[in-house]
Amino acid sequence: MKLTTKGRYAVMALVDLARFDNVNPVSLRDISLRQGISLDYLEQIFLKLRKKEIVQSIRGTQGGYVLKKKAHEIKLTNIFEAVDEKIKTVQCKKESKRGCNGKPTKCLTHDLWDELENHINSFFKEKSLEDLVKNNNEKRI
């Protein structure tokens, strides 16, 4: 069970962005350099973040990205959802009555995995970008 770079980088990049946000748009080039993430890869990620209206783009020289919502309104859940970093503890569909790989009924441990999924998601639901930035600034005092 591992977190992919897509989710990790998305959050990393947004924390970086959020710290400089209120001044000027932040270019991906800067984020790339500061955080050591490939520029091309960041572009992919920000495309998704923009489509989900988490960030807004400003084109041209001196352009970049700014947050489209307040930092406290952006939860980790929203970020992960935007970049398709999803928690999957099972293979079977949630709605379906059938079990994994088409079995007629759900397995012995199905409820456990649901519970696990909720447990993990609850972590993402309560953390906001603002929390992360604050937390970070405190440590640098």
Partner DNA sequence: ATAAACCCGACTAAAATAGTCAAGTATCAT
Partner DNA sequence: ATGATACTTGACTATTTTAGTCGGGTTTAT
Closest CA to 49 of 7, 19, 95, 21: 7
Q: Which strand (E) or helix (H) includes residue 8?
A: helix 5-20
Pairing of strands 64-67, 55-58: antiparallel
Q: Which does 49 bind (CB under 5 to 8 A by kind): DNA, ligand FES, a second copy, none?
A: none
Q: CB of residue 99 vs a second copy: minimum separation in angstroms?
A: 8
Site residues for DNA, 78-107, by CB under 7 A, read: none
Closest CA to 6 of 53, 52, 41: 41
Residue 12 CA: distances (Å) to CA of 89, 124, 129, 139:
24, 14, 10, 16
Among 15, 30, 75, 77, binds a second copy (CB under 8 A): 15
d(CA 40, CA 29): 10
20-28, 47-55, 56-64, 81-89 -> range binding a second copy (CB under 8 A): 81-89
Q: CB of residue 84 vs DNA: minimum separation in angstroms?
A: 8
Residues that bind a second copy (CB under 8 A): 1-5, 7-8, 11-12, 15-16, 35-36, 85-91, 100-101, 103, 107-109, 111-113, 116, 119-120, 123, 127, 132, 135-136
Residues that bind ligand FES (CB under 6 A): 90-92, 99-100, 106-107, 109-110, 113
